[in-house]
Every structure is written in C-alpha cells, then in structure tokens.
Amino acid sequence: MPHPAPRPFSIAARGPLAGRITVPGDKSISHRALMLGALAVGTSRITGLLEGEDVLATAAALRGMGATIIREDDGAWVVDGVGVGGLLQPESALEMGNSGTSTRLLMGLVATHPITTTFTGDASLSKRPMGRVIEPLAQMGADITASPGGRLPLMVRGIAPAVRIDYRLPVASAQVKSAVLLAGLNTPGITRVIEPVPTRDHSERMLAGFGADLTVEETGGERIIAIRGEAELQPQQITVPGDPSSAAFWAVAASIVPESDIVIANVGLNPTRAGLFTVLRAMGADIEEIDRRTVGGEPVADLRVRHAALSAIEVPHDLAPSMIDEYPILFVAAALAEGRTVARGAEELRVKESDRIAVMATALRAAGARIEEFEDGLTIEGRGGAPLAGNAHAASHLDHRIAMAMTVAGLAAIAPITIDDIAPVATSYPAFFGTLDQLTGQA
C-alpha cells in the first residue's frame, strides 16, 4: 500500500496552552468493540469510536468477512454481527495499513475459522515481526505462511475445530494475549493464557461484557485468563472513553510549557494503561482527576493539567507494560526535567511502528538533549526547565507517536523543530494539529 506524500511540519515555542479539549476514542477499545460486535449475534451500537486510519482498517476487514458496519449521521457506529464461527472467506487481501493491532488481533479471529486470509500492510507495518502471534496460533492448528522474518504479507489458513491450548506469554504483550483469546472464542474447550507480567486488560473486560465465559485468576504472581470456546456473544451498547495514549501528549505539553492550564475531558484511566500519569506525577506533574466515574466498565475522569517543574526519576520497570506506547512522549518530558531520568526495561519499543528508542534518541539529540541509549531504553540528562535549542530536523519513520512527540518537543524549543512527515498522525489522531492550534490560541 503506497504511503501518502510526506507532510513536513515545523514548530517552535508558542506560549502557554489553555482550554478544555477532548481526545479521540481509545484505539485499543475501538478495535475490540468492532471485532466483538462483528462476532455477536445481533446489532451493537458504538459511540465515541476512534475514526483514525487504524480503526477504519479493522472495520473494512470485518466488512470483507461478512459483518455489516455502518456509521450513522450522529457519529455512532452500528455493527450487525455474523456470530462466532460465522466469518466468511474475504474476496481479497485484508489491507491493514499501519495497524499492528488490527493485524495481530484479526489473525487470532480468522485462525479458528475455516477460511484463508491474506494480510498486507504499508512499508512500516511490513517491517514489524508477527512471529510472536504466529507461534500460538500455529499450536492451535492454523497454517500460517509469512514473508521472511515472520513479516507481512502473510497468509492464514484457519482451522475449525481448532485445538485448545494453555499458552504462557514469553513477552508482555496484550496483542498476543488478545489474539489467543479471540482464537479461543471458536475453539472447543477452554483456552488459557498465562501472563507472568500483567498487560492491558481491555480484551478481558470487553469479552466478559459481550457475554463470553471468561475467568481471570491470580496464582503465584501470574494471571491466568481462561475462555470457554464455541461462545455466543450478545450485542452491546459501547461508549468508548478518550484514549489515554492521545491524552498523554497534551499532559506532557501542559507540564513542560510555563503558565499552561488545560482540561482533557473523558480520559480512560484503566490501570493497565495509566502508567504514564503515575510516572509524571512522580516527576512532580500537576495532574488532577475531576469527576472520576465508570463508563462501559472502564474507569474515566477529566484531567486538569497545569505547568509544573519536573524532576528526574528512575522509571520503574514494572510500569512498562502500562505505558509502552507513551515512552516517546515520556522521553520529551525527561528532556525538560531537572536531573537524570533513567527509562529502561522497554525492549518492546524496538519493534513498534519504528525503533522508538533509536529514533527518539536521534531526534532529541538533534534538538539539544543529552541522551545515552541502551538496548532497552534511554538515560536522559534534563535541561531543568530550560527550553530545547531546536533548530533541528526529526525523522518520524512513518510513526505517528514519534511525529506527535517531537511536535510537543517543539513547543518547548527556542528555534523550530521540523518533523519530516506528520501524515502518519492520521492513523490514531486525525484532529491532533487542530487541537494543537486550539490549545495555543491559533485556531
């Protein structure tokens, strides 16, 4: 799939951020709501769905396998499902664009259906390894042929009935866990996933909400998630909370730009996703939760964030799974903090949309930060609140979070930082730059 023409963007300090904003619906929950709606018997209605390119790729793939998915005039999405086991043979390859989540979770769905499915993606996604998902699905009986290195394009020849497995995750990965649980939906017996380290639990919450027979136990410090197959899912009304990964950019921006004071409404604060806010508070950030509540089984609050002097910390390794997507923007916060921040234990960053450790190290060094790079993270000597020098170019490597993180860095830079391509931001946050203008008074 060809990538759109690059869209370079330059930004330097604009002054304080102010105002009340909303962020797009949670990407992880949006994917799962569409998938489980497509497997339910009946009509599900989803409000607050993220309408970024990644989620739209999931919707298109599910339509290609028989589900009816329509966006109504009021912005709600209606999904008429085909039932567990009812996915149809797609007429063409499923084009995943840049979405690793779509690819890995849908591989799990189709692996236990008697259909053959080809997955393709853009240049960035085609570099990302899929072996960690291929391994358990192959144990269940699926026949998967991948490109060299376990990469896309790949073909999944599903099997039904599949073989139930007990699978211990070799690495902390919510995507692998979710792929196995989704495959287990159409597998006779009980499929189990053992998690040595807890990961985001959106799949467990939503599967239970749709009526799956699912249990979660903790034994010996491990989580054991068990799902009984050949399920019949019930349609649901889903309200998607705001994505904490998207809110993270504004939380850091307000923290590092003097005199800033913003409110980010309706942010999902699932404890398996909220690690960055824990770390920012430990660094001295002024983040206040307003009207904490539960929406659709997920904890939600409005966040008021005001500028504060940040101090360096050593980021606890056990928080990595709950903030793995937020490390690029954490690196920016650390570059402006007082002292030496150590952010390690995050090897997973090497195989995201880009090598986020190397890419952020290069970009922040160019902007004037002092960085030491390790295999599993970075050590950053902060500037104690002094702005970055800027006058730098940053390569996004087709990675939406790199582009957004370096945009925020530009808000704390004397001279402009130029990002080579901001087009990938549309995969998760199409309105990002409009919100930037709103918060900085340039809308």
Q: Give the ranges where 120-200 is alpha helix by DSSP (H).
A: 131-139, 174-184
- Read off the tokens for 144: 């998967």
As a whole number of angstroms, the distance between CA 432 and CA 405 comes to 11
Rounded to 5 degrees, φ, ψ at 382 are -75, 165
- Active site annotation includes 325: yes
Residue 53: exposure state from Cβ atoms within 10 A (0-12, 13-18, ≥19):
buried
CB 61 within 8 A of CB 102: yes
d(CA 340, CA 378) in angstroms, rounded, equals 10
Task: Using alpha carbons, select from 219, 230, 225 the residue that is nearest to residue 83.
Answer: 230
Residue list, annotated binding site for phosphoenolpyruvate: 27, 100, 128, 175, 356, 401
Query: Number of helices and strands (H, E) in the chain?
Result: 12, 22
Q: How many CA atoms are closer than 13 Å to the CA of 375, on its beta-carbon side?
A: 0
Nearest Cα neighbor of 430 from 68, 7, 119 is 7
Binding-site residues for 3-phosphoshikimate, in ranges, read: 27-28, 32, 173, 175, 325, 352
Residue of 325, 376, 420, 437 with catalytic role: 325
Q: How far apart are the first and last CA of the chain?
A: 33
- The phi-psi region of residue 26 (left if phi > 0; otherwise alpha if psi is between -120 and 50; otherwise beta) is beta
Measured distance CA(414)–CA(411) in Å, rounded: 9
Instruction: Determine contact, residues 181/193, Cβ cutoff 8 Å.
Output: yes
CB 283 within 8 A of CB 312: yes
Within 10 A of 52 (CB to CB), how many other CB atoms are there?
Answer: 26
**Residue 259 CB-density burial (10 A; 0-12 exposed, 13-18 middle, 19+ buried):** exposed
Active centre residues (catalytic): 325
